[in-house]
Amino acid sequence: MSTDDGKSIDSALNAAALDYHACPTPGKIAMTLTKPADSPEDLALAYTPGVAEPVREIVRDPLNAYKYTAKGNLVAVITDGSAVLGLGNTGALAGKPVMEGKGVLFKRFADIDVFDIEVNVDNPQSFIETVVHIADTFGGINLEDIAAPHCFEIEQALVNRLDIPVFHDDQHGTAIIIAAGLLNALELQGKVLEDVRIVVLGAGAAGIASVRLLTCLGARRGNILVLDRNGVIHTGRKDLNPFKWGVAADSACRSLRDAMSGADVFIGVSGPDLVSPEMLSSMAPRPIVFALSNPVPEIRPELAEAARSDLIMATGRSDYPNQVNNVLGFPFIFRGALDVRACCINDQMQAAAVHALKALTHEPVPAKLLASYGLDTLSFGPSYIIPKPLDPRLKAVVSGAVARAAVETGVARFLLPDRYR
């Protein structure tokens, strides 16, 4: 399979992907019934006249929608199609296969039902109003593939206006997995978050959210340099939107080469082959490199390891160790939030997910998981700093941590289920 240009995929895989999506039934998700509908009596309960009674109960108390409808286990995966995978602004309709794919992951990993919604609008305010007007249907909103900087404006407006969890996975999901892996890598390298110098290449949704989360976890803002296409985001620049201004540094560094010199950590959420071996060589002893551009990272692991034998590395790819994969987070974060009917996903819930993922990596790996990856052994170390996506413990561990944090911070509207106690 060729990935040298970051875009081309073997033609056989292209054909297989189209067949997968088209046959035998178009698409990847469908609705199923959860109640019998085989007799006249069943139909009388499912629709008229029986359906009138739960309607009355919901009028009496809107929270009864969680009791009598699918709202409590239903998430909307919503996009405007402005930043679909690595394909850019494809438009809303072309984003539908990706949104359906997200639905597959929600159902497969956390048994959460999904309606995918593609909103064909060309401005943030129209998108916001559309979501607000349909939000009563859902127990949570997963925003997906929305370009920066509009994604920040959209998410904040929806968080302010809705009383259900709103989560932009491209921001917070990525940031949570990065943070969990980074805390473990720092432990292995004998460093602490409060002291390390961090370089973040990419100032879109994931990059800015990662800076915010790492700062909440203890990183010092003055130790973080963020770069976009024009170099280091510094306080002297006149071209910054409010979101980039929020991560601007008072620094004399201007280029990636400048920023990398002496840095302890590199986090790349940008594009292929942007980091040279020479830049890695200039980093501090025992560096940590998260080169997450996909499918081609900012620096390929073979080049990175040839330049620095003392590094710990992660990528976004499944064919290298330490894959930073959002499926480690979003299904279980929503599962925990839905299970206690949380009104939001706050910073404490995100931090709880980080620490749960970090801790799980230290636990013995089940034999069944080893077998699924064709491994004889796997334990916490430089090649295993974050859990594997197929780890069956993720649902209980991460969802439980998120649910407990929701209860502890007062944003839950339902008692903590016994399985999380």
Assess whether 320 carries a catalytic annotation: no
* 5 pLDDT tier (thresholds 50, 70, 90): very low
Give the max Cα distance, the chain: 76
* 171 pLDDT tier (thresholds 50, 70, 90): very high
Nearest CA among 109, 101, 153 for reference residue 131: 153
Q: What pLDDT, on the 0 to 100 scale, is given for residue 1? A: 40
Nearest CA among 89, 130, 95 for reference residue 116: 95
Nearest CA among 85, 126, 140 for reference residue 343: 140
- Integer Cα distance of 206 and 266 in angstroms: 14
Average pLDDT in the 63-80 region?
A: 97
Assess whether 20 carries a catalytic annotation: no
Both tokens of 202, joined, read 């990419």
Is residue 124 within 8 Å of 150, Cβ to Cβ? yes
Report the percent of the chain where pLDDT is more than 70: 98
Q: What pLDDT, on the 0 to 100 scale, is given for residue 60? A: 98
Q: What pLDDT, on the 0 to 100 scale, is given for residue 86? A: 79
Q: What pLDDT, on the 0 to 100 scale, is given for residue 8? A: 52
CA 401 to chain centre: 17
The pLDDT of residue 317 is above 90: yes
Q: What pLDDT, on the 0 to 100 scale, is given for residue 90? A: 95
pTM as predicted:
0.94
Q: What's the burial of 33, exposed, middle or buried (CB within 10 Å: 0-12/13-18/19+)? A: exposed
Q: What pLDDT, on the 0 to 100 scale, is given for residue 110? A: 97
The pLDDT of residue 248 is above 50: yes
Q: What domains does the chain contain, in order, with CATH numbers? A: 16-164 (3.40.50.10380), 326-420 (no CATH)
Q: What pLDDT, on the 0 to 100 scale, is given for residue 13? A: 85
Catalytic hit among 71, 96, 102, 191:
102
Catalytic hit among 47, 67, 368, 373:
47
* 66 pLDDT tier (thresholds 50, 70, 90): very high
* 295 pLDDT tier (thresholds 50, 70, 90): confident
Average pLDDT in the 388-399 region?
A: 96
- Integer Cα distance of 337 and 321 in angstroms: 30
C-beta atoms surrounding 392 within 10 Å: 11
The pLDDT of residue 300 is above 90: yes
Average pLDDT in the 129-151 region?
A: 97
Interior/surface letters 61-88, b for 16+ CB within 10 angstroms, e for the rest: eeebbbeeeebbbbbbbbbbbbbbeeee
Nearest CA among 182, 121, 130, 189 for reference residue 358: 182
* 316 pLDDT tier (thresholds 50, 70, 90): very high
Locate the DSSP E strands across 22-179.
74-79, 113-118, 140-143, 166-168
The pLDDT of residue 195 is above 90: yes
Residue 250 backbone class (left: φ over 0; alpha: ψ -120 to 50; beta: rest): beta
* 2 pLDDT tier (thresholds 50, 70, 90): very low
Nearest CA among 181, 217, 163 for reference residue 345: 163
Give the pLDDT confidence of 198-214 residue by residue, as tens digits.
999 999 999 999 999 99
Give the pLDDT confidence of 85-139 residue by residue, as tens digits.
878 999 999 999 999 999 999 999 999 999 999 999 999 999 999 999 999 999 9
Instruction: Please count the residues of the chain.
Output: 421
